[in-house]
Amino acid sequence: MSRKPIIAGNWKLNLTVDEGVALVQALAAPAAASKAEVVVCPTALGVHAVAKAAAGTAIGVGGQNCHWEEKGAFTGEISASLLKAAGAKYVILGHSERRQFFAETDETVNKRLKAVLAQGLIPLVCIGETLAERDGGKLEEILSRQVKGALAGFTAAQLSTLVIAYEPVWAIGTGRTASTQQAQDAHAFVRSVLRGIVGGLADAVRIQYGGSVKADNAKELLSQPDVDGALVGGASLKAADFTAIIAAA
């Protein structure tokens, strides 16, 4: 089955609002020329302005996280409906940095996913193993647990827009990248797990690779049959670098 590649830039805690707007303006032409779906995920403060700058272009805008509740006494949090109102169409969920630094769990990813889908937003659900888990032979155990935990209780129909981002934790921001074969093997395994949950929809679900994706390795990674795009960190902060990755797709 043909799946449209999705290239998403996770800006993390980088770029001012003005810098984000300028970057989107620089990416507009490359995104329009690409066959891939192009997304940028600025800080929460930048979502509204970046979405306005991206209006009328081929660039979609997403949030980097959201709370599972719609409103209430949750100081510092942002709901899916607030992101939507600000112009977001996508939301990253369960990124390894959220798991590592902010106590994110498979259960809370599941709750956030419910909130995101209720607002009609497209979820980018992150999964991935640590180096110790990979070296300990637990790769499939970890990925299976994370996928099943995130998607527990949902029907295939509810998950029709789902995007999975496989990010080996040991390759995020380290300069190390999974080999092309390691990436393909992990993606194929994740798709097999999805098949057990959502049946035939698994062949339509896009699975991105994330983990030190750069201009010089993107083409080879994206050439793999089960690698349907990339979730890009540092290389998404510079127009030239991100443009090269968009072009590789």
Q: Dump pLDDT digits (tens) for 213-227.
A: 898 999 999 999 999
pLDDT tens digits, residue range 134-166? 989 999 999 999 999 999 999 999 999 999 999
* Mean pLDDT to the nearest integer, 5-16: 98
pLDDT for 67: 98
- Which whole number is the average pLDDT over 60-73? 98
Rounded mean pLDDT, 30-37: 96
In terms of DSSP bridges, do strands 90-93 and 59-63 run parallel, antiparallel, or are they unpaired? parallel
Q: What is the pLDDT of residue 48?
A: 98
Q: How many CB atoms lie within 10 A of CB 66?
A: 27
Instruction: Quote the pLDDT of residue 1.
Output: 59
Instruction: Using pLDDT thresholds of 50, 70 and 90, give the confidence band for residue 192.
Output: very high
pLDDT at 151: 98
Average pLDDT (187-211) is 96
User: What is the rounded average pLDDT of the residues 234-239?
Assistant: 96
Rounded to an integer, what distance in angstroms lies between the CA atom of residue 213 and that of residue 9? 10
pLDDT of 174 above 90:
no
Amino acid making up residue 107: E
**SS3 at position 229:** strand
Strands 122-127 and 59-63: unpaired
173: left (phi over 0), alpha (psi -120 to 50) or beta: left
Q: Please tell me the pTM assigned to this model.
A: 0.96
Average pLDDT over every residue of 49-66: 98
Q: In the predicted model, what is the mean pLDDT of residues 58-83?
A: 98
Terminal-residue alpha carbon distance, the chain: 17
Rounded mean pLDDT, 63-79: 97
Would the pLDDT of 105 be above 80?
A: yes
Q: Which residues are catalytic?
A: 95, 167
> How high is the pLDDT of residue 248?
92
pLDDT bucket at 172, cuts 50 / 70 / 90: confident
Pairing mode, strands 229-232 and 37-41: unpaired
Tell me the pLDDT tens digit for each residue of 175-185: 777 789 999 99
Confidence of residue 171 (pLDDT cuts 50, 70, 90): confident
Residue in the structure block whose two tokens are 């980097």: 64
6: closest CA among 167, 164, 189? 164
Give residue limits of the domains in the chain: 6-248
The class level of CATH for 6-248 reads: alpha beta
Predicted confidence at residue 170, as pLDDT, reads 84
